Amino acid sequence: MRLIKICLLVIGIGAFGLHEYYISIFRLTFNRTEKQIQGELKVFTDDLELLLKTNGHGALALDENTLKAEIESGLSVELPKYVKYYDIKKRPKEISLVGFENEGDLTWIYFTIDNVKSIKEPTMEINWMVDLYSDQVNIVHFFDGIDELSEFFSRSKSRIQFIFSE
Amino acid sequence: MNSFKMFTELGFRHITDIHGYDHIIFLIALCGVYTFRDWKKLLAVVTIFTITHSLSLALAAFDVLRLKGDYIEFLIPVTILFTALFNVTKLGSNKAGNAKVAISGLFGLVHGFGFSGFYRMIMLDSKPWYTSYLPFNLGIEMGQLVIVLVILLISFTFQQIFKVTLKSWNIFIAGGVSFISITLILKNWPF
């Protein structure tokens, strides 16, 4: 009898479909000479298309070259909305889109944060894709030219301070 | 945290994620017939699985051999179903034999391609391959070890405490796992 109950439990588990992993990867590199943070964001193409569509930029296929201007226009609105950078004095810094590159199921978005003199103890607030997927995880690898720090961002942990040794 | 720890954690999270339970179910099917007393044989089964999935993960991640994701998503539950049903055959339930080791090695190749989709996403193109590949694999192995231990504990509890016979346990594992894998096969049918 006990075995039958557990069988039913196992069957119950099977009734739930496998779900996709929801993840995006940020790589930030501080360029001391240019006083600039150069960033790239790797994201699943279908997730990004869904984000643009959901936020009113239309059904844009990222592999369509003729739509490049519309896609970049959408990204330059969406990226700063969900990705924020604050210096040690908690002053926000502007995030500027450089462009994007599509390679099949993956897309890279390039951006910069300018006028950054030092990256001692910056704070990042990232809510990228969390409106679409509650269990979205955003990973940030932040390289200051010497050390690299990595952090998990999620809906429940969207604001993290990076502390570089300098 | 440093990136080594990050990639290790990502590997661990990936295999232990209950929402992506296909690898967990494969391990249940793979370890189903074993108990703590069979640890040497189980170690061989798990080790060969580790070697082969690491190999195919590397082949796919570094673009040596890439298979279409749809077919991999379909093949993974096929390997689970085969392993579960194999457990109730005479050959499959023979714990001393090497058939399970061979199956584990062969199917490890398929599961490695499954891991590669996630790995390609998290790997950093600008950094040397080993800075992410090695810790990610380490995390997968750690997660795999935890899952195998949990399976053995559950198996021990049922067989030693609730006195469920090995034969009944085997049928239960084969039935439950087969049902789940069939639903996944139908869901991921690529043809």
Nearest CA-CA distance, residue B179 and chain A, Å: 7
Q: Do B17 and A15 touch (CB under 8 A)?
A: no
Strands A123-126 and A106-113: unpaired
The answer for B 67-86 residues in CB contact with A (under 8 A) is 69
**Contact between residue B84 and residue B177 where contact means Cβ atoms under 8 Å apart:** yes
Q: Do B180 and A10 touch (CB under 8 A)?
A: yes
CA atoms of A51 and A136, how far apart (whole Å): 13
Q: Do B2 and A149 touch (CB under 8 A)?
A: yes
Residue A16: pLDDT band (50, 70, 90) is very low
CA atoms of B159 and B177, how far apart (whole Å): 18
Whether A17 has a pLDDT exceeding 80, the answer reads no
Q: Do B124 and A25 touch (CB under 8 A)?
A: yes
User: What is the predicted pLDDT for the residue at B117?
Assistant: 85
* Amino acid of residue B11: G
Q: List, edge to edge, every strand of the sheet that includes A23-31.
A: A95-103, A106-113, A36-44, A23-31, A137-143, A148-153
**Contact between residue A53 and residue A60 where contact means Cβ atoms under 8 Å apart:** yes
Searching chain A, which residue's CA lies closest to the CA of residue B184? Answer: A17
Residues in chain B: 191
Whether A155 has a pLDDT exceeding 60, the answer reads yes
Residue A98: pLDDT band (50, 70, 90) is very high
Q: Is A163 exposed, middle or buried (0-12, 13-18, 19+ CB in 10 A)?
A: exposed
Sequence-distant contacts of A72-78: CB under 8 A, at least 24 apart? A72/A97, A72/A99, A72/A100, A75/A100, A75/A109, A78/A51, A78/A52
Average pLDDT over residues A82-90: 93
Mean pLDDT estimate for chain B: 89
Residue of A21, A106, A151 lying closest to B1 (CB–CB): A151
Q: What is the pLDDT of residues B14-40, one digit of tens each?
A: 999 888 788 899 999 998 888 888 888
CA atoms of B187 and A17, how far apart (whole Å): 8
Q: Is B171 exposed, middle or buried (0-12, 13-18, 19+ CB in 10 A)?
A: middle
Of the spans A8-17, A72-81, B81-90, which averages the highest pLDDT?
A72-81
Q: Which of B189, B63, B59, B132 is nearest to A106 (CA)?
A: B63
Phi (first) and psi of residue A143, to 5 degrees: -110, 120
**H or E segment and range at residue A68:** helix A68-82
Q: Do A139 and B17 touch (CB under 8 A)?
A: no
Secondary-structure breakdown of chain A: helix, strand, coil percentages, each rounded to the nearest 5: 25, 35, 40
Between residues B94 and A96, which one has the greater pLDDT? A96
Rg (CA), chain A: 19
Whether A7 has a pLDDT exceeding 70, the answer reads no
CA atoms of B44 and B104, how far apart (whole Å): 9
User: What is the predicted pLDDT for the residue at A15?
Assistant: 47
Nearest CA-CA distance, residue B101 and chain A, Å: 26
Q: What is the pLDDT of residues B136-168, one digit of tens each?
A: 999 999 999 999 999 999 999 998 888 888 888
CA atoms of B73 and B184, how far apart (whole Å): 9
**Contact between residue A37 and residue A116 where contact means Cβ atoms under 8 Å apart:** yes
CA atoms of B151 and A28, how far apart (whole Å): 41
User: What is the predicted pLDDT for the residue at B32?
Assistant: 80
DSSP string spanning chain B? Answer: --HHHHHHHHHHHHHH-GGGTHHHHHHHHHHTT--GGGHHHHHHHHHHHHHHHHHHHHHHHTTSS---HHHHHHHHHHHHHHHHHHHTSTTTT-TTSSHHHHHHHHHHHHHHHHHHHHHHHHS-TTS-THHHHHHHHHHHHHHHHHHHHHHHHHHHIIIIIS---HHHHHHHHHHHHHHHHHHHHHHT---
User: What is the predicted pLDDT for the residue at A18?
Assistant: 55
CA atoms of A23 and A44, how far apart (whole Å): 8
Q: Do B175 and A7 touch (CB under 8 A)?
A: yes
